[in-house]
Chain A
């Protein structure tokens, strides 16, 4: 773990989490540029969409985090605007980015599903890099291991009451590995896709399932609910809803595609 990546003589520094988000953004842009050229999509529309998506994703993630933890960390209204000094919640960014995506594709008369297919593999690569940032900065860490777990990570928690060097479940590497797996599956599926939107829906299905499972092992500060005697996090509630929506849409789209043949 290395939360501060570079520290300069004047005391200023580059945070590992922010740097990895920057790198994730660069790789996202690179992959999207390649895909856009390959598929022959209108580049100016894609980049216009990306400008709005980047703003909404960053602010959505920060607002979501601020709403959840403003009391715990004593964040004032000022913190709502300085996103580079506060935390981020991935699902918050995804929700606001989706609303922006919906409005923009409608406004620009872009194909909702085909554009979604184009954006999903770069998004998986983005999540992979962002989760590497989680490993480096120590956020999103796991619960304490109750037994001799072979891949346990020593705790270097930036927050919370966990004792240093306690073995923890490696939730951040698990998140990163799942994003990489999703990326590989989507790439393998790309040429054999049967309908527009298939890639995007497979990506959402896989992410919601892996995220739901890994969340059980997370030990950092999160919003939790008691449902049927089990502690369920807010992210898991979103994962379940996302999964159900993606399953319904997947079968609907597949049926629609076979009817058109």
Chain B
């Protein structure tokens, strides 16, 4: 095969590699965000609510 064609193939493969890598990282980020998401009503408490005494 012509050597000049290899140059174009190398460039194209680099682009495909970058695409797959960035897609993989995006999926990882999305999965991490999902893991930290808590169900409704179980989120961190408001410090004002926690420190409020019974008479307040």
Interface residue ranges, A against B (CB under 8 Å): 8, 12-15, 18-19, 21-22, 25-26, 29, 33, 42-44, 46-48, 50-51, 54-55, 58, 83-85
Contact = CB atoms under 8 A, between A and B. Distances in A.
Interface of A is mostly: helix
B33 interface: no
B2 A47 contact: no
Contacts of B14: 26, 29
Nearest to B5: A84
Given A44-B22, A44-B23, A48-B19, A54 B5 contact: no
Interface in B1-30: 2-5, 7-8, 10-12, 14-16, 18-19, 22-23, 25-26
A33 B18 contact: yes
B15 A29 contact: yes
5 smallest CB-CB distances across A and B, nearest first, come from: A43-B22, A47-B19, A22-B7, A18-B4, A44-B22
Given A48-B19, A50-B18, 12 more contacts: A13-B3, A18-B8, A21-B7, A21-B8, A25-B11, A42-B26, A43-B22, A44-B23, A47-B22, A51-B19, A84-B4, A84-B8
Interface residues of B, number: 18
Interface of B is mostly: helix
24 contacts: A14-B4, A19-B7, A21-B8, A22-B7, A22-B10, A22-B11, A25-B11, A26-B11, A29-B11, A29-B18, A33-B18, A43-B22, A43-B25, A43-B26, A44-B23, A44-B25, A47-B15, A50-B19, A54-B11, A54-B12, A55-B12, A58-B8, A84-B4, A85-B4
Contacts of A47: 15, 18-19, 22
Contacts of B7: 14, 18-19, 21-22
Nearest to A83: B8
Contact of B15 (A13, A18, A51, A85): A51
Contact of B26 (A8, A44, A54): A44
**Most interface-central of A42, A50, A85 (chain B CB within 10 A):** A50
A256 B4 CA distance: 46
B52 to A, nearest CB: 40
Interface of B: 2-5, 7-8, 10-12, 14-16, 18-19, 22-23, 25-26
Contacts of B5: 84
Nearest to B2: A84
A133 to B, nearest CB: 12
Nearest to A50: B15
Given A22-B8, A22-B10, A44 B19 contact: yes
B16 to A, nearest CB: 6
A19 B6 CA distance: 10
